[in-house]
Amino acid sequence: MAAVDASGSNGKGQGVETSVTYYRLEEVAKRNSSKEIWLVIHGRVYDVTRFLNEHPGGEEVLLEQAGADASESFEDVGHSSDAREMLKQYYIGDVHPNDLKPEGGGKDPSKNNTCKSCWIYWVFPVVGAILLGFLCRYYTSESTSS
Ligand code: HEM
């Protein structure tokens, strides 16, 4: 059974701000047949079983993603804002924090680090080139004066 951190109805999810049901990824992975289909989209778990026959993109694509993280595929399709609104109907809970990949939060610090190192990469050659220019000018002016 899923790991539940808090009580409360896990039906509509969005309306109830006081409690969240957490699911482990292994729990989600078990719901991968047409009898029961769960998907993870951006750290949220959706039970799309009853949506299978209604999905405008067809049931095959949902079956392909069944029990897995479908965030990328969902975004790749470029779903409309209506489709994003529809997600709420199928929301049943969140992925357990221990199973969350550093998707958003973990990315930023590494981004900053990369940016910092980029900065260092171009500053050193530029300063080096300027110094070299000065040295060249110095030696050229010395050789012409003597
Ligand atoms: C609960 C999750 C999902 C909902 C509520 C949903 C909803 C929708 C809706 C409303 C459309 C009609 C076009 C639009 O309004 O954007 C659509 C189209 C489509 N969806 Fe989904 N979708 C879901 C998940 C997925 C996933 C995981 C895939 C995986 C690839 C997918 C693939 C597609 C495709 C291929 C189309 C057809 C796009 C087109 O014809 O231009 N959908 N979906």
Residue list, ligand 1 pocket, CB within 6 Å: 39, 46, 48, 51, 55-57, 61-62, 65, 70, 73-74, 77, 79-80, 82-83, 86-87, 90
Q: What is the ipTM of this complex?
A: 0.93
82-107 tens-digit pLDDT: 999 999 999 999 999 999 877 554 44
Nearest to 29 by CA among 88, 81, 95: 95
Pairing of strands 91-95, 36-41: unpaired
∠ at Cα 30 (23, 74), nearest 5°? Answer: 75
pLDDT band per the 50, 70, 90 thresholds, residue 80 = very high
Comparing 26-35, 82-91, 110-119, the range with the smallest average pLDDT is: 110-119
Choose among 84, 88, 59: nearest CA to 74: 84
The answer to whether 55 and 62 have CB atoms below 8 angstroms apart is yes
The pick from 77, 81, 88, 90 for probing ligand 1's pocket by mutation, whose C-beta has the most ligand atoms within 8 angstroms, reads 77
Those residues with Cβ within 8 angstroms of residue 87's Cβ, 6 or more apart along the chain or in another chain: 41, 44, 46
